[in-house]
């Protein structure tokens, strides 16, 4: 008979896990297309166009997936902090997640602006219409923003590398449930504490759930 005990560190909702790993695939495709764009510089225009279609399409998909992901995170119940994590660890994790969200939104919106500033529209596949144009054609705006878009990309992937390294460190060195919370395999159920052990619950542990705000929901 399966145990009904709650998990020591409950995992993220299945929908959030799906959004997370879809985002990972889109980020990988964006990085690959961005790298190919530089390798194909000076090659056939058709090759460059195909790569840029993939890059722009993945960027738009990531933008709206991130907005949807943020909305569902804020609308759903807040996930309790990882058991045993310190206030400093939680603060660093929250800051990193908020920075990742912010960089995704800023970089994708800037890419949208650059495409429009080049006088191009971004089509919506299968639905037969274009995304709204955020700006009119403006070569000067393109020149002013292309470099910033690339720098934001480098900063984002640098932060992402730190995020991945931290997740691996938690999983391999600390052997906690950080990575398992975002996987399809749920953390193991926790054993129910004996009544005699209740006095060991510290006020700091009991107060953790009260610290969760809307920002914590987004950044957890």
Q: Domain residues of the chain, as ranges?
A: 14-79+87-185
Give the helix, strand, coil percentages of the chain, each rounded to 5.
65, 5, 30
Q: Two tokens at 171?
A: 């999983």
Q: Give just the sign of the alpha carbon dihedral 205, 210, 215, 220.
A: positive
Q: Which CATH superfamily is domain 14-79+87-185 in?
A: Transmembrane di-heme cytochromes, Chain C (1.20.950.20)
pLDDT in tens, 69-96: 999 988 888 778 777 788 888 899 899 9
Q: Report the candidate in 148, 137, 153, 140 with the shortest Cα–Cα distance to residue 59.
A: 153
pLDDT in tens, 150-178: 999 999 999 999 999 999 998 898 888 88
β-bridge partners, 87: none
pTM of the model: 0.77
Distance CA 106, CA 110 (A): 6
pLDDT in tens, 117-150: 999 999 876 667 889 999 999 999 999 999 999 9
């Amino acid at each position: 008979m399966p145990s009904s005990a709650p998990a020591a560190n409950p995992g993220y909702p299945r929908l959030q896990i799906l959004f997370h790993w879809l985002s990972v695939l889109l980020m990988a495709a964006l990085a690959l297309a961005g790298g190919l764009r530089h390798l194909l510089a000076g090659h056939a225009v058709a090759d460059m166009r195909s790569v840029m279609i993939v890059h722009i399409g993945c960027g738009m998909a990531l933008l709206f997936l991130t907005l949807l992901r943020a909305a569902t995170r804020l609308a759903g119940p807040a996930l309790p902090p990882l058991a045993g994590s310190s206030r400093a660890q939680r603060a660093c994790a929250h800051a990193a997640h908020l920075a990742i969200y912010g960089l995704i939104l800023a970089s994708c919106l800037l890419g949208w602006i650059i495409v429009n500033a080049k006088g191009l529209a971004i089509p919506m596949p299968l639905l037969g219409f274009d995304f709204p144009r955020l700006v009119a054609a403006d070569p000067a705006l393109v020149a002013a923003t292309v470099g910033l878009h690339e720098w934001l990309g480098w900063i984002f992937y640098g932060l992402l590398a730190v995020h991945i390294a931290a997740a691996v460190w938690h999983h391999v060195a600390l052997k906690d449930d950080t990575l398992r919370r975002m996987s399809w395999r749920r953390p193991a159920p926790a054993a129910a504490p004996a009544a005699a052990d209740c006095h060991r619950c510290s006020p700091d542990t009991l107060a953790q759930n009260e610290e969760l705000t809307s920002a914590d929901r987004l950044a957890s």
